[in-house]
Amino acid sequence: MGSAEAARAPATRWDIATPARPGRLPGISQAGFRDRATGPLDLPVIPYPAVTLAIDLGNGLIVDNVRGRQQGGGVVLGLAPGAVRVRGQNIDCLQIRLSPVIAHAVLGTSLEPGGEIIALDALWGRGATRTLEQLRAVASWEERFAIAEAALARRYEAGRAVDPEVAYAWRQMVLGRGQVRVEPLAAEVGWSRKRLWARFRSQIGLTPKRAARLIRFDRAAHRLAEGHSPGSVAAESGYTDQSHLHRDVMTFTGVTPTAVSTAPWLAVDDVAWAALEHASRT
């Protein structure tokens, strides 16, 4: 199956596994993907308001970006990753989404936006190699989920948490679906706007304004994928008008709202991330 055919039938291409029970750490979600097709895969990534870990379990996955960087094995994608594509064949992959509040402690740093992809072993060293070996040595997804969660928990406990004020600001942005201004948030936590902006930027990896735009875009993208018109999505998502929505979608994806509405990347979200998608829409 070629990439064009895959785009027409994205959901049927994958066997998708999710954990049987919620994990111990809030802000971390996992899903397993196994490619049923025999032909090559070439998918553009649609940004999501989380840091993404893509862990290749079958030596078939390559992630690349607009800068020409390619990475396999364990790959970390920052927030708003830009023009990133997932390529490969016979893919067997564990995907993990980390809230940026959790990711700062787990990864030991915040990632710069704009197309950054980085090898997990560049952040975790030998720990990444050991975890990858453990994941590849077991057959069941539940065992894989448990191994990954244990590794993430160790990193989180040893890591440096973001400031409570920054975590609060992020939560309010998510709850407000990106329609939250920085000044009131700063006042609520007792900080100046400048201080919140600087701390948020250094710990989350995006400015508060761009983070809010990403959260708002994510809701809009999923509403488009559900079949709602760009005009109605713009109105309900807090955009000034349909042109405003068009500009934001182009900024985050490089394609039009119509193209996003049929993006294969979004077609499996309701299966792989059902709890997350429900929470983001209620």
Q: Sorting pLDDT into bands at 50, 70 and 90, what band is 11?
A: low
Do residues 171 and 265 share a domain? yes
Q: At 262, which CATH number?
A: 1.10.10.60
Q: Are residues 128 and 214 in the same domain?
A: no
> Are residues 170 and 154 both part of a single domain?
no
User: Which stretch of DSSP H or E encloses residue 127?
Assistant: helix 126-137
Does 174 lie in the same domain as 106? no
Higher pLDDT, 194 or 116: 194
Say if residues 122 and 73 touch (Cβ distance below 8 Å). no
For the chain, the average pLDDT equals 86
Q: Which of 138, 158, 178 is the last residue of a domain?
A: 158
| pLDDT score at 113 | 57
Nearest to 217 by CA among 179, 181, 182, 167: 179
Same domain as 127, residue 194: no
Same domain as 98, residue 76: yes
Out of 158, 191, 214, a domain closes at: 158
Burial class (CB in 10 A: 0-12, 13-18, 19+), 209: middle
CATH number of the CATH domain containing 69? 2.60.120.10
The tens digit of pLDDT for each residue in 212-222 reads: 999 999 999 99
pLDDT of residue 212: 94
Looking at the structure, tell me whether residues 244 and 259 fall in a common domain: yes
What is the 8-class DSSP label of residue 195?
Answer: H
The Cα–Cα gap between 246 and 41 comes to: 27
Q: State the total domains in the chain.
A: 2
Same domain for 148 and 176?
no
Strands 70-71 and 61-65 turn out to be: antiparallel
Tokens of 229: 């018109």
Which pLDDT does position 275 carry in this prediction? Answer: 55
Are residues 168 and 139 part of one domain?
A: no
Range of the domain at 139: 3-158
Average pLDDT over residues 143-159: 94
Last residue of some domain: 104, 137, 158? Answer: 158
Model confidence band, residue 277 (pLDDT cutoffs 50, 70, 90): very low
Average pLDDT over residues 113-121: 74
Predicted pLDDT at 185:
94
Are 277 and 171 found together in one domain? Answer: yes
Looking at the structure, do residues 80 and 196 belong to the same domain, yes or no? no
Same domain, 114 and 176: no
Q: Where are the beta strands (DSSP E) in the chain?
A: 14-17, 28-35, 41-44, 51-56, 61-65, 70-71, 74-77, 84-88, 92-98, 117-119
